[in-house]
Amino acid sequence: MSGKFSFDQPGFCDICEARVVFHSDFSWLRDHLHCPSCQSVPRERALMRVIDLYMPDYLKKVIHESSPGGRGISIKFGHNCPNYSYSHFFPDIPLGSVHRERGERCESLETLTFEDNSIDLFITQDVMEHVFDPAAAFREIARVLKPGGMHILTVPLVNKCNPTERRAERYADGTINHVAEPSYHGNPIDNKGSLVTMDWGYDILNFIRETSGLSAHMITIDEIERGIRAEFIEVLVCLKT
């Protein structure tokens, strides 16, 4: 009988900026190879690596993150970046307002309330697979980015070389049509989870370019010594020229 899976990897966490031993009790490293200090997982460390490479002066930048998970980069930026802000979508309060109990700003990616050309770095971590109108979301993010600003994101590209497929659509009256069997991911503000609306493939790059006007390219990092190894940890960099 095989024993319980356990994996340890000494290395350097780009979020903590410290030597650590990454650990997982599960073979699916994407969700389980944690940093013991900041609790980040591989896709989050890959995102930090890319931000360090493409916007090394991020401490001085205006940063907004949609729907942070409350660990890793989100905590680091909240503590160290004076111009970092974040938001969640709360369907029962006006966009741009602050939730009375949670003290968090309400924003919809499809209809942002930020001014044009106001943000240097827009971050989404595994969010764009939950948006009903991703074309509107990418357009809105492009609108609020400053010239030279970037949308840097992770999103599971589960279809890889196959075309992107829609899993759910929203009608004008708000009802939802499930094109495929409903699937849900974790949601930091709702225990019911977030419905997956899109199974993205690598063709997301053309989708972003065509809908937003941003340039877009994909970066794949495999650096186990930095705790960056797993499925679906590609990072997309979208630049406003």
List the Cα angle 233/137/63 in 5-degree steps: 70
- Could you tell me which residue, 190 or 163, shows the higher pLDDT? 163
Residue 239 and residue 232: Cα distance in Å, rounded? 21
List the Cα angle 54/56/60 in 5-degree steps: 120
Residue 24 and residue 100: Cα distance in Å, rounded? 38
83 pLDDT higher than 70? yes
Confidence of residue 178 (pLDDT cuts 50, 70, 90): very high
* pLDDT at site 1: 40
Type of residue at 203: D
* pLDDT at site 204: 99
Confidence of residue 191 (pLDDT cuts 50, 70, 90): confident
* pLDDT at site 2: 52
pLDDT of 117-169, one tens digit each?
A: 999 999 999 999 999 999 999 999 999 999 999 999 999 999 999 999 999 99
Q: Enter the pTM of the model.
A: 0.95
Fold annotation for 57-239: Rossmann fold (3.40.50)
* pLDDT at site 192: 80
* pLDDT at site 189: 66
pLDDT of 193-223, one tens digit each?
A: 899 999 999 999 999 999 999 999 999 999 9
* pLDDT at site 136: 99
Which residue, among 57, 43, 6, 34, has the nearest Cα to 234 in the 3D structure?
A: 43
